[in-house]
Copies of this chain bind each other. A is one copy, B any other.
Amino acid sequence: MYDLIILGAGPAGYVAAEHAGRLGRTTLLIEKDLLGGVCLNCGCVPTKSFLHSAKLYAHALHSEAFGVAVKEARFDYGKMKARTEKIQDTLRNGVAGMMKRHKVEVVVGDATVESAKAVRVGDTVHEGANLLLASGSSPAHPPIPGLAGNPYVVDSTGMLSAGQLVDHLAVIGGGVIGIEFASFYALAGKKATVLEMLPQICGSTDKELAAILQRKLESMGVSIHVGAKVVRVEGDVVHFEDKNGKTETVKADMILSATGRKANVDGLGCEKINLDFDKRGIRVNERAETNVPGVYAAGDVTGRIQLAHFASRQGIVAVNNMFGHPDICREDAIPGVIYSDPEIAGVGLTEAQAKERGIECKTLKMPLAASGRFLAETEGGRGVVKAVVGARGEVLGMHVVGSYASEMIGAAAIMIEAELRARDVQDIVFPHPTVSEIMRDVMFMY
């Protein structure tokens, strides 16, 4: 009998397995496909590689203002894709090596839960004192007529495996995934059209930040329709009602369906052990416990925050709790990033969320142009930092659009987790000149 059996080797599962190994527990990790899950194989990691190459291409072409003139630049999609696949191989091997080092057994196959302490893979039943369900999520396809089975339509996985760039990409869904691919197309010099049902792109991102990114994308040739309801797809034509109710069409060479992801709960055997779950996911508490003792769940399958880093944290929390190290997974300092150009990153409450919850707060705002480094490195782009600070000065949220946002937001996560107040942050010495120091400077407005 294993101390722990994990179903799914994505960022929840493999990180939990590593942690259990670190704690000296015998662990079995079952994966039906590839180590690393969606994140490594058809999500965060390959998109970052795609975006980085496209940024290099765009920067090579458009750096005249910086004194860099390029005669002719060519974007070799195939080479970029082959490089991406090599990186994914390296990372998968890294995960495999990590499992070996921590004495985690890895089995490839379809796993179904037999009981709270047993999992079947083919003809073999494995027994474990604890189970961690980390089966992830899959692209959710909305019931739009003409979407299913349409050869022009791809999901994010299809986008990443496409053999070439097309001239015009239509994107249904202007959330993080849709916007990252639209950014990729724009940076690669191709046309993209985004259709978003909500009144703004980028989901629950601060409205003002999303608007800055939208204007930037539009200046790069991306057509963005917010409040747009897609009514049907006919071959390569998307029919939608614009925000005024007018029917319009977009003809594209490829159509990306990026309208969210659904928890992988089917076929797991959840019903056999009377697990509390529905199509939104397996219900867990902040200790990552399900309603069945000894059975935990983590990551996208829990239907909470569908982000790789949240999944990893949940996985670690589950392992800590099952092996006698009480731990909780707080959700108030989970950063989110959009790796567009400029990037958007945020952590904690936005101004709108704080208001919705009736929390008394103050929003402190500064342009990144106050940063010498931002000015030195940016041409024709806007950047803003917004800090949301509570009545006692406590940092509740930090939201940034601009260069380096992704890499500096971790500092704000610490501010929130360490329960720092604006006055405490004023004393922190950030290096000068950086963009990140503006997260401190803005606190002097408190």
Is B373 within 8 A of A48, CB to CB?
Answer: yes
Which residues of A, 299-346, contact B by the 8 Å Cβ criterion?
A: 307-310, 312-313, 316, 327, 333-337, 345
Does A107 interact with chain B (Cβ within 8 Å)?
no
A41-78 CB contact bits vs B (8 Å, 1 = yes)?
00011001100110011011001011111111111111
In the bound complex, how far is the Cα of B310 from the Cα of A312, in angstroms? Answer: 36
A429 interface hit (Cβ, 8 Å): yes
List the B residue with the shortest CB-CB distance to A377: B52
- List the B side residues contacting A90 at CB < 8 Å: 375
Known: A77-B67, A430-B335. A372 touches B411 (CB 8 A): no
A323 to chain B, nearest CB (A): 15
Can you give 28 A-B contacts (C-beta < 8 A)?
A: A19-B444, A40-B372, A44-B372, A45-B373, A48-B377, A48-B433, A52-B66, A56-B59, A60-B60, A60-B68, A65-B83, A66-B80, A67-B79, A68-B73, A68-B76, A69-B76, A70-B70, A70-B71, A71-B72, A72-B72, A87-B376, A335-B430, A335-B431, A407-B434, A408-B408, A410-B430, A410-B434, A418-B418
Interface-forming stretch among A119-127, A156-164, A435-443?
A435-443
Q: How far apart are the CA atoms of A436 and B426 in the complex, in Å?
A: 22
Q: Would you call B432 and A407 a contact (CB within 8 A)?
A: no
Name the residue on B nearest A36 (C-beta): B372
A290 located at the interface, meaning its Cβ lies under 8 Å from any Cβ of chain B in the complex: no
Known: A48-B377, A413-B429. A74 touches B68 (CB 8 A): yes
CB neighbours of A52 from chain B (8 A)? 66, 376-377
Do B67 and A75 touch (CB < 8 A)?
yes
Q: Is the CB of A94 within 8 A of B370?
A: yes
Chain B residue numbers with a CB within 8 Å of A45 are 372-373, 376, 433
Q: Is A359 an interface residue (CB 8 A)?
A: no
Contact assessment for B410 and A431 in the assembled complex, using a CB-CB cutoff below 8 Å: yes
How far is B345's CA from A370's CA once the two chains are assembled, in angstroms? 22
Q: Kindly identify which residue among B59, B68, B372 contacts A75, using a CB–CB cutoff of 8 Å.
A: B68
- Which residue of B56, B336, B427 is within 8 Å of A63 (Cβ)? B56
A7 close to chain B: CB less than 8 A:
no
At the interface, yes or no: A428 with Cβ under 8 Å from chain B? yes
Asked if A34 CB lies within 8 Å of chain B CBs, one says no
Alpha-carbon separation in the docked complex, A83 to B258 (Å): 41
The reply on A406 being an interface residue by CB < 8 A is yes
CA distance A22 to B431 in the complex (A): 22
Number of copies: 2
Counting CB contacts under 8 A, is A39 at the interface? Answer: yes
Interface membership of A420, Cβ < 8 A: yes
Tell me whether A84 is interfacial, beta carbon within 8 Å: yes
- A427's nearest neighbour on chain B, judged by CB, is B417
Q: Cβ of A91 and Cβ of B336 under 8 Å apart? A: no
**Chain B residues within an 8 Å CB radius of A333:** 428-429
Instruction: List A residues 378-426 near B (Cβ within 8 Å).
Output: 404, 406-411, 413-415, 417-418, 420, 424, 426
Residue contact B408 to A49, C-beta cutoff 8 Å: no
Residue of B nearest to A403 (CB): B407
A411 neighbours in B (Cβ, 8 Å): 408, 410-411, 414
Mask of A244-262 contacts with B, CB within 8 angstroms, 1/0: 0000000000000000000
CB distance from A438 to the nearest CB of B (A): 10
Least CB separation from A45: chain B residue = B372
| A11: interface (CB < 8 Å) | yes
Contact of A309 with B432 in the complex, beta carbons under 8 Å: yes
Specify which chain B residues have a CB less than 8 angstroms from the CB of A345 in the assembled complex.
431
**Of residues 347 to 372 in A, which have CB atoms within 8 Å of B's CB atoms?**
370, 372
A335 to B408, CA, bound (A): 14
| Residue in B closest to A86 when the chains form the complex, CB atoms | B375
Q: Which partner residue on chain B sits nearest A90 by CB separation?
A: B375
- A437: chain B residues within 8 A (beta carbon): 309, 410
Which residue on chain B has the smallest CB distance to residue A407? B404
Of B80, B309, B327, the contact of A430 (CB 8 Å cutoff):
B309
Q: Which residues of the other chain, B, contact A433 by a CB distance below 8 angstroms?
A: 39, 44-45, 48, 308
Q: Nearest chain-B residue to A331 (Cβ)?
A: B429
Q: Which of B19, B83, B429 is close to A309, meaning CB atoms less than 8 Å apart?
A: B429
Bound-state CA distance A402–B39 (Å) is 23
Nearest CB of B to A269, in Å:
29
